[in-house]
Structure 1
């Protein structure tokens, strides 16, 4: 047997073992239920990942709702495209360091949660994205117990994605999937401003 043949045989055996392990894990995962995903951390890509799931769900003909907390831009590429195919609400007055108005931010968060809680109570919504919700919990704009209760009592097959930095410990505990996105490097630190099609 040549060296290449030996390497190929070892690779095939390794992949066969890996396939058997993965197949057994897939067979064990036999539940169908709605999942709560939390995308948090200081890195770029939390909302982008959520909007990727919006596109995926729309592609499957699912009913989708998006509520953006904090954010105020209505000229983003994601809303321009995806907002034509789902219910989309931009509910903030801008990032908290811009508004510097706790009462106003709290009022806007409450208005946004009224829409979000309506979606969370309606089984017709198969995917609900709560973009930047974590800030509203961190800053106390919304009652954490009420938010957690609404998330936990949603319809069985409804999927929810929550994005934002510094997700509350209680939110992480009830989530089915948690991804912490961190920066190794970011263009902003080199003086490059937010770019159309990349950040908005």
Structure 2
């Protein structure tokens, strides 16, 4: 006769292990419930996606798609990459234009245009459109895609952007700013900051940007 603790019918773990796990999870749930009782506030967030890894814009567009799914109006203003016809842009313009306004204001990366004055003009036009979209209180979220690049190259005045976000953004409007090398001052005023870390990239192995992955 075996002296092993009997196994439960549902799995290979013992009744003793199952009881310990249930007790541990019950304590975690109680602690989580206590914490959640103190988290009842809402506000429009300033959200920054930065870092050398991929996924900054993709994450921002994921949030926009969430807003669309909830029937919440939103807007996208693209800096730098506006010359590209991306999958996100096609999807939104062809299927969700009633819920998401999309403005591609850039003309490509700086090494492609090779015209600083033109890049600055495009960035300024994008920022004016961004302010218009943020001030329109029907928009729940506004994605400023790759604006961090425009700030990095000083195509936009950093202090002007910071002041607008702090003093003029409607209280319940979310603003998402993407792009590597986010300015420290922007990180300081943000409510949520995520840094994408690059571990491996196919470009180093000679793989070009591919449809469905990068655009």
- TM-score above 0.5: yes
Q: Which residue of 2 aligns with 1:197?
A: 212
Matched residues in 1 for 2:85 and 2:188: separation? 34
Is the CA contact (8 Å cut-off) linking 2:137 and 2:170 kept in structure 1? Answer: yes
Q: Which residues of structure 2 form unaligned runs of 5+?
A: 7-12
Q: Which residue of 1 aligns with 2:138?
A: 124
SS of 1:129 mapped into structure 2: strand
| From 153, 164, 177, the counterpart of 1:150 | 164
| From 156, 164, 179, the counterpart of 2:179 | 164
Matched residues in 2 for 1:198 and 1:61: separation? 26
Alpha-carbon offset, residue 74 of structure 1: 4.0
RMSD: 1.3
Would you say 1:47 and 2:62 are equivalent positions?
A: no
Q: Which residues of structure 1 form unaligned runs of 5+?
A: none
| From 110, 123, 128, the counterpart of 1:109 | 123
| From 187, 190, 196, the counterpart of 1:181 | 196
Would you say 1:83 and 2:93 are equivalent positions?
A: yes
Superposed CA deviations along residues 3-45 of structure 1, whole A, max 9, x for unmatched, are 6112211211221122122222221111111111100001110
SS of 1:120 mapped into structure 2: helix
Alpha-carbon offset, residue 99 of structure 1: 2.0
Structure showing greater Rg: 2
TM-score (norm 1): 0.95
| From 36, 44, 54, the counterpart of 1:34 | 44
Matched residues in 2 for 1:92 and 1:13: separation? 55
Alpha-carbon offset, residue 107 of structure 1: 0.7
SS of 1:157 mapped into structure 2: coil
SS of 1:179 mapped into structure 2: strand
SS of 2:175 mapped into structure 1: strand
Aligned length: 200
